[in-house]
Amino acid sequence: MEYAEHVIDLVGDTPLVKLNSVTDGAGPLVLAKVEYVNPGGSVKDRIALRMVEAAEASGELKPGGTIVEPTSGNTGIGLAMVAQRKGYHCVFVCPDKVSEDKRNVLEAYGARVVVCPTAVPPEHPESYYSVSDRLVTEIEGAWKPNQYANTSNPESHYHSTGPELWQQTDGRLTHFVAGVGTGGTISGTGRYLKEASEGKVKIVGADPEGSVYSGGTGRPYLVEGVGEDFWPETYDRDVADEIIAISDADSFIMTRRLAAEEGLLVGGSCGMAVAAAVELAKRCDPDDVIVVLLPDGGRGYLGKVFNDSWMASYGFLPPDSTDATVGDVL
């Protein structure tokens, strides 16, 4: 019989799949690293596991302790899943703009969610940053992973994502493309691949137009999980050879093409990364091998990227292509 002892033993070792149609006939092989098959549904399971295990080893997180983090997204799910397995409590602090669905997911794993007003500046005592800082001091045995400054974030990719890719491609990949949020994925994976290939593998970041990594100031964009308005400590500026900026429209159109043409129901940052990979593929040699990382699945975005009215309201779709009504099909 072949089975895992526990769900956290299933983190990592994700598959690669060839992209066939969305590459629009570009020469090189483009392979997608499918991270939604992680047990918590995203690439963030990798960092959650390593951050918790490092804090256990250093004594920062003690048996029965409480993990406190200002997150509502994939990192929260990864942490909640790891905490459930290892017997820790979890408190997530998130702004009130976060959807009820996202809060429900965290609570389903047994976490507590504290909701704070969005419309206050970060230094305000009720902001979600201030509240999470206060909870860390007030709750006994509390530990804050801080994914933006925790070295275990890039290290998890240096020790897992990077070696997996090198092995899966038999050392033949020539380019690695990833969206940049905390920068953990690109910094850790990129550093490993540069070392393994003696500098030959090119590392390419994908960034929403307006974010700091591609020279912006943090102008709001709609793609979730990527782009920043500050430079996190987890981003190593020496790793990426190039950053490609992608618009919201191009990110979301590619996200929908991934579902419709490749059977990959994935999130908006995946469409962004693939749009960058396709742009790159068009100027590469036919025998190059490009790997693009797809961070999460698309189920969490059904009301946005995959909703015609939402897309049309931002001008991402022509107005006449909205959802069919019963009248249209009868």
Quick one: how many helices (H) and strands (E) in the chain?
A: 11, 10
| Closer of 130 and 147 to ligand PMP (Cβ) | 147
Among 160, 161, 185, 251, binds ligand PMP (CB under 6 A): 185
Binding mask 55-84 for ligand PMP (x = CB under 6 A): ------------------xx----------
Phi, psi at 277, each rounded to 5°? -65, -40
Question: Is residue 255 within the footprint of ligand PMP (CB under 6 A)?
Answer: no
CB of 79 to ligand PMP, least distance (A): 13
Q: How far apart are CA 224 and CA 179, in angstroms?
A: 11
Q: Which residue is nearest to ligand PMP (CB)?
A: 225
Check 33, 44, 144, 202 and give the catalytic one.
44
Binding mask 15-54 for ligand PMP (x = CB under 6 A): -----------------------------x----------
Question: Is residue 182 within the footprint of ligand PMP (CB under 6 A)?
Answer: yes
Among 12, 267, 297, 298, binds ligand PMP (CB under 6 A): 267
- How many residues form the binding site for ligand PMP (CB under 6 A)? 17
Residue where the block lists tokens 């191009």: 250
Question: Is residue 214 within the footprint of ligand PMP (CB under 6 A)?
Answer: no
In sequence order, the 6+-apart residues with CB closer than 8 A to the CB of 119 are none
Q: How far from 38 is each of 10, 120, 191, 311, CA to CA, in Å?
A: 7, 35, 22, 28
Spatial CA neighbour of 314 closest among 237, 248, 232: 248
> Is residue 152 left, alpha or beta, with left meaning phi > 0 and alpha meaning psi from -120 to 50?
alpha
Question: Is residue 295 within the footprint of ligand PMP (CB under 6 A)?
Answer: yes
Can you read off the two tokens belonging to residue 195?
């070392």
Q: How far apart are CA 152 and CA 146, in angstroms?
A: 10
In sequence order, the 6+-apart residues with CB closer than 8 A to the CB of 209 are 216, 219, 221, 245, 246, 247, 248
| Closer of 43 and 65 to ligand PMP (Cβ) | 43
Question: Is residue 98 within the footprint of ligand PMP (CB under 6 A)?
Answer: no
Among 39, 70, 184, 190, binds ligand PMP (CB under 6 A): 184
Residues assigned a catalytic role: 44
Contacting residues toward ligand PMP, per CB under 6 A: 44, 73-74, 179-185, 224-226, 267, 269, 295-296
